[in-house]
Amino acid sequence: MRKEEKDMNKVNHPFWVIVNKEIADHVKSWRFIILIGIIALTCMGSLYTALTNIGAAIKPNDPDGSFLFLKLFTASDGTLPSFVLFINFLGPLLGIALGFDAVNSEQNKGTLSRMLSQPIHRDCIINAKFVAALIVIGIMLFVLGFLVMGFGLVAIGIPPTAEEFWRIVFFIITSIFYVAFWLNLAILFSLRFRQAATSALASVAVWLFFSIFYTMIVNLVAKGLSQSEMASPYQIISYQKFILGLMRLAPSELFNEATTTLLMPSVRSLGPLTMEQVQGAIPSPLPLGQSLLVVWPQLTGLIAATVICFAISYSMFMRREIRSR
């Protein structure tokens, strides 16, 4: 009896009540339905191109040739991008759509002030909004990933190995952290700006900057700092590391490097190598544990960026004076 009472108290806790309310609002909203439809259709399209091109993607001396299931996420015939590239490009839009009006829309409607007038801890609201959106994102990405595996199993007729399965799971977890960063950024802008349209525009502007313009800026910097033909190997490697460090300031680059290493086991390094390091290397796939060690800095960077954005949002919300119009 006591156990049932504890379970009821947990379900009726204000935090979980708000989480359930936010999840229901997200799932029932037209913008989420439209966006999930677009992402599902594009991902199924990329799966179709991968299945039609999977024979050509397997080459005789390809060290990743034995990982057939991973090709479903990375293979493409050029007509459509791969599944990974679609998540890299459209994933931020999902996070932005779930977070750009998380606070300011409720404040403008007056529901936020009424909610805070109840015996509820203020941090329950901001925490519940983030957790609810993260649950929706996690369920959606896991469903998409397992759908790809299911269709691939039916089409290929070969089940994935244990290592392939866990590599796909870690790829989905990495995707969740990537989308969570954009979710927290959108929540931050919803606290910074009073109007939902302004916060949405600011979030999309940051996404476009890192997706399109940031690479152009880094290329201009690389061109301006390009080394001469007389430069020593040490100077060339230092220059390459500097440019690579600039590129890694973009969340999309961190996500791209992490997913490439997880879904292509033959990737053994993500930085410039000297001839001494390359000499004697055997082009064989890495075990999953070694691949995780290679991408650990990228994963840490994504998690740190997500935590920093949420910490700033949390601090702003706790200090904010909530007044309705």
Q: Would you say residue 279 has pLDDT above 50? A: no
Sign of the alpha-carbon dihedral angle for 310, 317, 25, 99: negative
Distances (CA, A) of 146 to 24, 94, 141, 153: 23, 19, 9, 10
In a domain, 24, yes or no: yes
Q: What is the DSSP string of 127-192?
A: HHHHHHHHHHHHHHHHHHHHHHHHHHHHHH--PPPHHHHHHHHHHHHHHHHHHHHHHHHHHHHHHH
Q: What is the mean pLDDT of the chain?
A: 82
In a domain, 79, yes or no: yes
Count up the domains in the chain and report the number: 1
In a domain, 325, yes or no: no
In a domain, 29, yes or no: yes
Q: pLDDT tens for residues 72-120?
A: 888 777 777 888 888 888 889 989 999 888 888 888 777 777 877 777 7
Model confidence, pTM: 0.88
Question: Are 181 and 306 contacting, i.e. CB atoms less than 8 angstroms apart?
Answer: yes
In this predicted model, which residue has the larger pLDDT, 114 or 255?
Answer: 255
In this predicted model, which residue has the larger pLDDT, 184 or 194?
Answer: 184
pLDDT band at 171 (very low <50, low <70, confident <90, very high): very high
In a domain, 178, yes or no: yes
Grouping H, G, I as helix, E, B as strand and the rest as coil, residue 214 is helix
In a domain, 219, yes or no: yes
pLDDT of residue 278: 45
In this predicted model, which residue has the larger pLDDT, 111 or 231?
Answer: 111
In a domain, 233, yes or no: yes
pLDDT of residue 277: 46
Q: Would you say residue 1 has pLDDT above 50? A: no
What is the chain's Cα-based Rg?
Answer: 23
Tell me which residue has tokens 């476009």. Answer: 208
Quick one: average pLDDT of 183-187? 93
| Structural tokens at position 255 | 């996500």
| Structural tokens at position 200 | 């949405």
Quick one: average pLDDT of 271-281? 51
In this predicted model, which residue has the larger pLDDT, 124 or 269?
Answer: 124
In a domain, 196, yes or no: yes
pLDDT of residue 182: 94
Domain of residue 267: give its range: 2-319
